[in-house]
Amino acid sequence: MQKQNSKKKFLEKLYISLSFYFGDDDCDSIIKDYEEWFENEEMAEKSEHEICSGLGKPFDIARNLYKDSKEGKEHTFPLKSSVLLQTIATLVIYYVLCISLLRYFDKNGWNFYPVALIANVLVFVAGLFILKKSKLTCDMQFKNHLLLIGLFFFILLTEVFLVMKKNEAGLGSYYVVLVTTAIIILSCIIIYIILKKYIINRELGFITIFHILGIITCLMYFINQLHMFYIERTFGLEKIIAFSSLLYIQTLIFGTILLLKLKFERKS
């Protein structure tokens, strides 16, 4: 209980909760006020556990602060300032577009390869647009989309190669080796950066690494299905795009939360 109600844990949860309602500058200002509150209460010889218990739940604090703010009183939807709400909105739009395009092309008799290429081109173009906007509004979205655009650009190139060479013998094994090697290198780089540059505690480090390993497992299974060329017949086009979308959603949400935590830790 002491660990869960420590000053560090409380302010970390409060920062993430505030990000649903406020922009980065407002979150920083509010956190600074609460840090001063903790200092004053500690001077009165109160324990961190007592201070945290007296303040209440971080998410309730963030919600009440928003209700009392100018935006809350005017009932303005906080999409323009909220990092997480922007991320969720982006993901919903992306998913709906993918499924809609998939249904259209499937209805008109298109097979997996052109649909996959078109989907990845759209992801790449949309990602560049989001990247341009996010650079002005949110450093976290900028970094997340930059990584994911790079990943999708690589997938796009491998799919172009696959479509152009799909009738050649032995292509499947070359494709699997190429993608597997790239994923291993990319994963090692990410894990190294986390361990050497950004790790802030053992718990978060392990969670991040296991998340990456989980994505690798899913991708390897996906690649294996492509290698056997049974994916269209076995799963159907709708499930292919849904699977890719879920990987994107999972990674982007996790990356946003992780960067929020890292940003707070550097300032604390």
Tell me how far apart the 2 most distant CA atoms of the chain are, in Å.
77
| Token reading at 15 | 């920062």
Whole-model pTM over 0.75 = no
CA distance 214 to 160: 26
Please, where are the H alpha helices in the chain?
7-18, 24-43, 48-55, 58-68, 70-73, 83-107, 112-137, 139-165, 171-193, 202-228, 231-235, 237-267
Task: Print pLDDT tens along the chain (268 aa).
Answer: 444 468 888 888 888 788 777 776 788 888 899 989 898 888 888 888 888 888 888 888 888 888 787 655 555 555 555 655 665 666 566 666 656 665 666 666 655 555 555 665 665 566 566 556 554 445 555 555 555 555 555 555 555 555 555 554 455 555 556 656 666 666 666 656 555 554 445 545 555 555 555 555 555 545 554 544 444 444 455 555 555 555 555 566 656 666 666 666 555 5
Phi-psi region of 46 (alpha: psi -120 to 50; beta: other; left: phi over 0): beta
Backbone angles phi, psi at 14, to 5 degrees: -65, -40
| Token reading at 146 | 């930059």
CA distance 122 to 96: 13
Give Cα separations from 18 to 35, 60, 62, 153, 236 (angstroms). Answer: 15, 10, 5, 33, 41
Give Cα separations from 242 to 83, 146, 236, 247, 262 (angstroms). Answer: 24, 21, 10, 9, 30
